[in-house]
Amino acid sequence: MSGPLVVLVGPMGVGKSTVGQLLAERLGAGYRDTDDDIVAEQGRSIAEIFADEGEPVFRSIEKQAVRRALAEHDGVLALGGGAILDADTRAHLAGRRVVHLSVDVEEALRRTGRDTPRPLLAADPRRQWQDLMKTRRHLYETVAATVVATDGRTPEEVTRAVLDALGPNLVRAGRRQGPGPAGPLAAYGE
């Protein structure tokens, strides 16, 4: 199956973007984030899309962005936190290297802050986040080949844990061809 080397899923604040960029660097691969794709395509922030069009319109836009990214991108792909709500998206993730990055509520709130422009956490962030996770946790786990906890870990430690969880086949798949003393495996410790 062609497509991304690895797909990162998980809630907002878990570190998908940061870990995704580090993981891509270690693998010598490109990085792509479907939230960034949506913002670039729509010319406005996700918060603005939610405010102007509502969540159903955003989810439709997101579904198409994910489908395109899965078809076009061959590196590390990070999906928005709610992308897995769509059954078609979950079906498109079947058989792929999907990693669920997990985080507990306290750590998530610390990372996202209470005043960030995250439309689904606008009122009572703690309760909202807990409610989101009740709905989403089993969906993340259903699509994931592995779960990596991010609590109390640096982005570098999480990246290493993802590489360890997915094993040497992922590292070999991400290897760049050509000479060079400091390829992606050097950063991985090989």
Phi first, then psi, for residue 78 (nearest 5°) are -105, 130
Alpha carbon of residue 115 to chain centroid: 22
43 known member of a binding site: no
32 known member of a binding site: no
pLDDT of residue 103: 87
Number of H helices, E strands in the chain: 10, 5
CA distance 18 to 16: 6
Q: What is the dihedral of CA 8, 99, 11, 44, to 10 degrees?
A: 10
Stated pTM of the model: 0.83
What CA–CA distances, in Å, run from 57 to 11, 41, 158?
A: 20, 14, 33
pLDDT of residue 10: 94
153 known member of a binding site: yes
pLDDT of residue 182: 36
pLDDT of residue 172: 54
35 known member of a binding site: yes
13 known member of a binding site: yes
136 known member of a binding site: yes
Average pLDDT per run of 10 along the chain, which is 190 residues long?
A: 91 90 96 97 93 94 97 96 95 95 78 54 68 90 94 94 85 45 37
pLDDT of residue 72: 96
14 known member of a binding site: yes
59 known member of a binding site: yes
pLDDT of residue 60: 96
Q: What is the dihedral of CA 121, 124, 130, 136, to 10 degrees?
A: -30
pLDDT of residue 179: 32
pLDDT of residue 184: 39
Reduced to 3 states (helix: H, G, I; strand: E, B; else coil), residue 179 is: coil
